A and B are shown apart, each in its own frame.
Chain A
Amino acid sequence: MTSSNIKEISDLSPDSGLAIINSKAPFSSNNGKDALDVALIFGSFEQKVSLFFQGDGVYQLIANQDGSLVSIKDYLKTFSAFEFYDIDDIYVCQQSLVNRQLDENFHINDVQVLPSSEFASALNCHKHVLRF
């Protein structure tokens, strides 16, 4: 937990748009891609959207994966376009990384790793939540 994280979260108003929770591994189901489609649409309509990665969903952020090896369109590449859709608030559950022995080696920048309580507070700042 860094002081910049504390500031960032308190900056979120209690009515901070839509939160999308990603809770599934990237290539085990369509959930990750379906969640991405929703995020990009909200972004293109200039609606505020934040992304939360929790449980097996944290695997979606791990670097050096290639879905094409298992004949799946590598939608993870599209994550690098988030900034063009003004999707700046991306949170990862630290405990989920620890439980899976994953390093904070992500394929996109500006991801905020948060302890469970801060992760929950950040989520609580959103008016609506969708979970995939």
Chain B
Amino acid sequence: MKTLAVVVTTPPYSHLTTSALTYVEAALVAGINVIGVFFYQDAAMHANKDISIASDEYQAIDHWQRLHKEYQLPLHICITAAEKRGIVCDSMGDVQVNKAFTVSGLGELVELTSKAARLVQF
């Protein structure tokens, strides 16, 4: 079984994120086992439920949620990156973290890297 892990570093309003989404969806459609997507640096902003992007622009967060729902794709955010960007990640902060995302640490990146045959960064 081919296993793939993906690291995303670009924010939800960046057009670069569309490349990551297109790539991950193509992999899932091709039957590749995407064991997780790790959101680091500015990509942690994807998990902020309060982000609102103009409706005529690309809705990266909606697409990640869709892939999570359709393929049970694990979406991990780095807690340090998230908190530094104003996303409250403690137990009280569940109101701000998008339910499709799991609050993780860099240890999760170690885990994904050790399990995946390929690691691709965007």
Contacts and interface: CB of A to CB of B under 8 A. Distances in A.
A14 to B, nearest CB: 14
Contact of A18 (B105, B107, B113, B118): B113
B121 interface: yes
Contacts of A45: 107, 110
A119 to B, nearest CB: 19
B102 interface: no
B86 to A, nearest CB: 15
Contacts, number: 33
B106 interface: yes
Interface residues of B, number: 16
A31 B80 CA distance: 14
B109 interface: yes
A8 interface: no
Given A37-B106, A45-B107, A128 B113 contact: yes
A103 B17 CA distance: 38
A76 B107 CA distance: 22
B109 A34 contact: no
A47 B106 CA distance: 13
B88 interface: no
Given A41-B109, A45-B107, A47-B110, A130 B41 contact: no
Nearest to B112: A128
Interface of A: 18, 30-31, 34, 37-38, 41-42, 45, 47, 128-131
5 contacts: A31-B41, A38-B109, A41-B109, A129-B119, A130-B119
